[in-house]
Structures are given as C-alpha cells and as structure tokens.
Chain A
C-alpha cells in the first residue's frame, strides 16, 4: 500500500522579514521530534563509522566453532550461522545500507530534479515528453521491475571493480535509483511551474538573464525546500527497498553484509535463533523512523502553511 509522500506540493511565497533561512531553521529546531530524529541518526552514524574500530571481530571472519550463540558478554548481539559477530556485521552492514541509501538518493534526486525542472521550465512539448516518460516509469510495478533489473544488471561489466563488493553494491544502487526519481520529478515540475510565473522571475527575465542561470540561480533555490524534504524521504525509501530486495535474494552478493541480506540469512533459523532476525530488522526500523521524523520536521519548517 502506498501512501505517497508527495501528494501535496505546497508552494511558498518569500514574504519573510527576517532572513528566510534562519526563520526556517528556528522552526525546525522547535520541532522536537525532528531533533530527536537527528540525534538518533547522528548517533547511528558515529557508531557506524567508529564502532568497528573498537570491535575485535571482522565482519567476514567466520568461526565455525561459535555458530549461533545468543547475546552474551563476548558477543553483545550474538553470532550468526557462520559464527560471525552480529554487532560487527550490523555496523559494517550499516555502512553499506546507508551508503546505498544516500547514494541512491543523490542519483534519484539529481535525475528527478533535472527531468522535472526541465519539464516545468520549458513546458510545452518538452514537458509533455518528459512527463510521458515519468508516467511510463511510474506505471511499472516497482518491486517487480526492481527484481528483473537486478537480475539483469547483477554483474556490471566494469573491469576495474571486477571481483569487489562494489560491483553488486553499485548495481543495486543504480537499480533502486532508476525507480525512485519519479516522485521527485513530479514535485520539482510543479514547483518550477508555479515559481516560473512569479514576479521576481519575470523581472529577472526582463533584465536579460539567460535560461540556464534562471533555472539554477533563481528558481532552483526557491524550490529547494520541497526537494530537500523529498530527498530525505527518498533515503528512507531506498533503505527499505534495499532491504526488501536483499531479503528476496536479489541484493548485494555475499559475504558483504547489508541489513537486508542479514535478514535473509536469518530466515532459515529465525525460530531457533531469533536474535539474528530481530536486530537487523530493529535497526532498520529505528533508522527509518528517525529519517522520517527528520523529513517531517523539515517539511513543517520549509512549508510553513502546511498545518
């Protein structure tokens, strides 16, 4: 079931007395939940970056004598089916999952902004063409196409990266991004369409500013608000998509851990060793909640007359 985050696109007028940025920042700070979300994410990032340095275990080092140990003083979250320390794997997996999330977001937002911006700005034929393209991509049932694409693009023929985990990580990221840019494009198009008609744009045009500058230096910064909000939600969506794909077995190749493929590995013994299934899922839940909180906070701050 969907629950499209971008159904309503609110437009702002820049009628603030104070500098617009500080006003928004203050509104954001007041949003307690969003602050909470940021705190969680920052903690998570710190732990993920520096935690592994303190861990005596390596994520891929198997220890066949220590299979499926429940949480204990030696292994705070227990071990998995090959004796690898779960906590260490969660942290390394976090690097991969978050990297995929952020990278997929960057690609999809860039792509979406480009397409939506061009469509909104130029209108007419270009708008029609680009929107048909967007509609076509939206018409595909996403999980289905994700699976097919990941099957087909499983092993990108990039010689330099051959044999490293980066190959499958990159291909998964690309696949996820290719199916995530459409809501952003719609959003950006709507923004551009309305901002384009505003007085300060007409003024700039009459002064002779060329199209490119118009788009990037005048319109885009004003459309930035909804884009940032969308980008935030895209990260959460990408993390969940990656976990679904990996759970079904179409994600990153072993032995590289991601939160999603840890859940897949856990499935065969989730009754015997529930900790292998509970912790990866839990951390996905927490991360995604935190990101959503931040997104909501941003949305409230950047779209003041939403509520």
Chain B
C-alpha cells in the first residue's frame, strides 16, 4: 500500500477506502477473533474499528504505519469488549477460550493443520503476539505500540511461543 492510497482515502475517495478495508479486514478480524473468540463479535469489532479509522483518518499523519494504527484500534476495542463482557457476565467467553477455535473450519487436508492447532492452543498473550508478529508482520516495536506491553515482555512471550512451535515443527512436520 502506498501513501497515495492513504491520501485518497483521507480525501474521501470511496475506492481507496474500499481498498484499505479489503486489504486488511481479514488480519484485523483474526486479531479480534484471537481475543474475543466469537466470530460475530470479532466481525462487529472489526467493523467498528474500521469505522473509527475512517472517522479519524483525516488526522492520520503517517507518524506510524497505517496498519499499526488500525491493529492498535482493533486490539483495544477487543480488550474493551472482553472487559465489558466480564463485568456484565453475559458471555461464555471463558468457556470457549480454550477451544480449538481457529481450526473449526479447517478441512483437515492441510499438512500444516497440526501446527495451526498448536498455535490455537497457545496461551492468549502468546497467540496474540504470534498473530501480530507472523500474520500482521509487525516488529517488536510495533507490537509494543499496539498492545502496550514492554519490549522485553514481548520478546519473552514470543520466545516462549516460538519454542513450542519450533518443537512441533522439529517433531514431525
């Protein structure tokens, strides 16, 4: 994505706005899904996050990457949703948190399905950081900006998660 697309989006160009949404909606959705663990809620959060981005895009000054800004909004919205859900006790969030959630729709034919299941079974913070690091291709510094976790904390979590995934890879894939 070039800055021209952002400039067009800032000026209200519908095509540029559509492009931005289509380009990043799936990654944003997966970040939300990893936190709230409910497809409909994750979809709503993704939609609200994009609306928030479009609402404030005129104030975007390229000081940070567009995606870092977007994922930070998605991450914060998801965390807020979880906190709200926990305080009102209306959701079964805790009960689904350990399910093999991401793998529900997988065909089972993929040779890397086992690895994906391992990612799915990681601790919440480990999975979030793996998602941001590998899927969203964010640096430690960007992850720090998105999650608010310290750089050293991110490195420790990333190291722990990677170790488990590497072991899985070395043991049979």
> Is B one of A's binding partners?
no
Interface residues of B (CB under 8 A from A): none
